[in-house]
């Protein structure tokens, strides 16, 4: 049997959501060490307790550093890796100018393999251990992504993007082919190792009612799968949806009508929601995915984190690469803080770290497996150097508690702050 290992440092875990109660830090716990064996967390506690738990395990000393669950990115487009940080477009022009031409290249399995490997390498370097990704309409793009994640022993979710209108000819499928291709991919990948399938209609404007109906039927047949799409990202997008679906009560109704509203649904952006939509999303326990760097980079708007949390919504955090401007969940947390400031509701460091781990894992319905440090959880971990640059170090030196120490890393940190990333108990 493997002897495992012990990481010593400031081990952060959560007993609940720091959005509940008056003091966000009250749900957080700091311990001295975490023990890992055979890809799972054996426990956390004092160093002596962990050494007694795994008496033959080597101890890796990260004194002064913060050890926590690996980051969980709940909404990404791995095929947009190479076009990240492209200039000057809003949503619809972004798709036509940058996204669609790039996604056409993913019919080539070799190119899809190259970008999938590049994407997972880049995100691991930033401490991200789980992502939920859109692929392209090509089954090859899904196979490439799952194969790359499988080789790394990584827990991911992904799905073939389905579009049968308002996209170039090379990027359109049909209602029937979207159903058939998606179902074949579910059979090939869902539940294999640490892989999960997400049924993926891109958004209502690029799917006919017939395709949305087909995707709803597929989800009804495979309720074990996630379903991901976009919702109310920009006001001109909402106006477009209103033109395309004149009978719909609102944007969400274009999904709800076809069986695409449910507890395992992931709705990216969700900035400009109407009251009915908020009530229905909460009633179903669906997840809203906040993508702050994307929302600012392509000018979408300011997500109502405080209001949505207060009414009991399930919320995850995401980079939305490549509309999002960074592969880093640290930068994403910083942007979430900045958007909170613009709304007059700044987020505490504990809330930001929870969103990037347990919050996103809960949104993906994976919170029993990842996103926290507790016995039996999968050993996806990140070690944060809280003094990774001179600018961060000089500010952290003045800190009076761990939250003041980690906040400069959230605001100014990048991949240099990632001392180690562990996926499934293996250092990557």
On whether the CB atoms of residues 305 and 340 are closer than 8 A, the answer is yes
| Residues whose CB is less than 8 angstroms from the CB of residue 15 and which lie 6 or more positions away in sequence, other chains included | 27, 28, 29
Closest alpha carbon to 212 in 153, 258, 165: 258
Distance CA 328, CA 102 (A): 22
Q: How far apart are the first and last CA of the chain?
A: 22
Residue 12, SS3 per DSSP: strand
Q: What is the phi/psi pair of residue 295, to 5°?
A: -60, -35
Placement of tokens 């910083």 in the chain: 334
Neighbours of 246 (CB within 10 A): 7
Distance CA 422, CA 428 (A): 6
pLDDT of residue 93: 86
Neighbours of 177 (CB within 10 A): 16
Distance CA 202, CA 195 (A): 20
Over the stretch 39-87, which tens digit does the pLDDT of each residue have? 999 999 999 999 999 999 999 999 999 999 999 999 999 999 999 988 8
pTM of the model: 0.98
Over the stretch 350-398, which tens digit does the pLDDT of each residue have? 999 999 999 999 999 999 999 999 999 999 999 999 999 999 999 999 9
Sheet with 28-37: list strands edge to edge. 40-45, 28-37, 5-14, 58-69, 381-384, 418-423, 426-427
Over the stretch 103-144, which tens digit does the pLDDT of each residue have? 999 999 999 999 999 999 999 999 999 999 999 999 999 999
Kindly report the CA angle at 259 between 257 and 265, in degrees rounded to 5? 115
Distance CA 84, CA 87 (A): 9
Distance CA 203, CA 393 (A): 43
Kindly state the average pLDDT of the residues 409-425. 98
CA atoms within 13 A on the CB side of 27: 20
| pLDDT bracket for residue 92 (50, 70, 90) | confident
Distance CA 339, CA 300 (A): 12
On whether the CB atoms of residues 388 and 91 are closer than 8 A, the answer is no
pLDDT of residue 313: 98
> What's the token pair of residue 130?
């789980």
HEC letters along 129-151 = EEEEEECCCCHHHHHHHHHHHHH
> What's the token pair of residue 181?
């291709």
Helix ranges restricted to H, 28-138: 47-53, 91-94, 100-103, 109-125
> What's the token pair of residue 77?
């487009």
Q: What is the phi/psi pair of residue 289, to 5°?
A: -110, 115
Instruction: Please check the confidence at residue 1 and state whether its pLDDT lies above 50.
Output: no
* H or E element in which residue 328 lies: none
Beta-bridge partner residues of 134 = 77, 159
Selected residue with higher pLDDT from 6 and 1: 6
Over the stretch 258-315, which tens digit does the pLDDT of each residue have? 999 999 999 999 999 999 999 999 999 999 999 999 999 989 999 999 999 999 999 9
Kindly state the average pLDDT of the residues 159-166. 97
**Could you give the domains of the chain?**
5-69+371-427 (2.30.40.10), 71-363 (3.20.20.140)
Over the stretch 197-235, which tens digit does the pLDDT of each residue have? 999 999 999 999 999 999 999 999 999 999 999 999 999
Distance CA 293, CA 5 (A): 36
Selected residue with higher pLDDT from 178 and 93: 178
Beta-bridge partner residues of 381 = 69, 422
Distance CA 99, CA 93 (A): 9
Over the stretch 22-46, which tens digit does the pLDDT of each residue have? 999 999 999 999 999 999 999 999 9
Q: What is the phi/psi pair of residue 188, to 5°?
A: -80, -35
- Angle at which helices 329-342 and 402-412 cross, to 10°: 100
pLDDT of residue 94: 78
pLDDT of residue 96: 84
């Amino acid at each position: 049997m493997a002897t495992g290992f012990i990481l010593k440092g400031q081990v952060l875990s959560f007993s609940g959501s720091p959005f509940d109660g008056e003091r966000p830090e009250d749900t957080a716990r700091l311990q001295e060490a975490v023990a890992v064996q055979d890809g799972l967390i054996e426990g956390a506690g004092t160093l002596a307790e962990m050494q007694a738990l795994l008496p033959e395990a080597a101890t890796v000393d990260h004194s002064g550093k913060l050890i926590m669950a690996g980051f969980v990115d709940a909404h990404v487009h791995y095929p947009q890796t190479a076009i990240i940080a492209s200039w000057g477009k809003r949503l619809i022009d972004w798709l036509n100018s940058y996204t669609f031409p790039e996604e056409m290249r993913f019919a080539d399995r070799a190119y899809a393999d190259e970008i999938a490997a590049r994407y997972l390498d880049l995100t691991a370097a930033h401490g991200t251990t789980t992502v939920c990704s859109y692929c392209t309409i090509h089954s090859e793009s899904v196979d490439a992504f799952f194969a790359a994640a499988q080789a790394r022993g990584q827990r991911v979710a992904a799905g073939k993007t389905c579009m049968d209108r308002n996209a170039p000819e090379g990027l359109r499928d049909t209602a029937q082919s979207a159903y058939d291709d998606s179902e074949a991919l579910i059979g090939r990948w869902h539940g294999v190792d640490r892989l999960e399938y997400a049924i993926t209609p891109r958004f209502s404007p690029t799917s006919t009612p017939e395709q949305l109906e087909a995707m709803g039927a597929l989800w009804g047949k495979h309720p074990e799968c996630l379903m991901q799409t976009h919702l109310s990202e920009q006001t001109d997008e909402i106006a477009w949806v209103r033109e395309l679906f004149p009978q719909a009560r609102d944007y969400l109704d274009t999904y709800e009508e076809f069986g695409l509203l449910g507890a395992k649904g992931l709705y990216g952006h969700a900035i400009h929601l109407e009251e009915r939509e908020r009530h229905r999303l909460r009633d179903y326990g669906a997840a809203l995915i906040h993508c702050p760097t994307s929302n600012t980079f392509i000018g979408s708007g300011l997500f109502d984190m405080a209001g949505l949390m207060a009414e009991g919504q399930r919320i995850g955090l995401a980079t939305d690469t490549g509309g999002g401007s960074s592969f880093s969940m640290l930068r994403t947390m910083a942007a979430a803080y900045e958007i909170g400031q613009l709304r007059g509701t700044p987020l505490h460091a504990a809330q930001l770290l929870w969103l990037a781990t347990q919050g996103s894992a809960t949104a993906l319905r994976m919170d029993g497996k990842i996103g926290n440090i507790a016995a039996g959880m999968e050993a996806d971990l990140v070690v944060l150097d809280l003094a990774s640059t001179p600018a961060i170090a000089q500010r952290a030196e003045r800190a009076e508690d761990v939250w003041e120490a980690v906040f400069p890393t959230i605001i100014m940190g990048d991949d240099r702050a990632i001392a180690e990333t562990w996926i499934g108990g293996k250092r990557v």
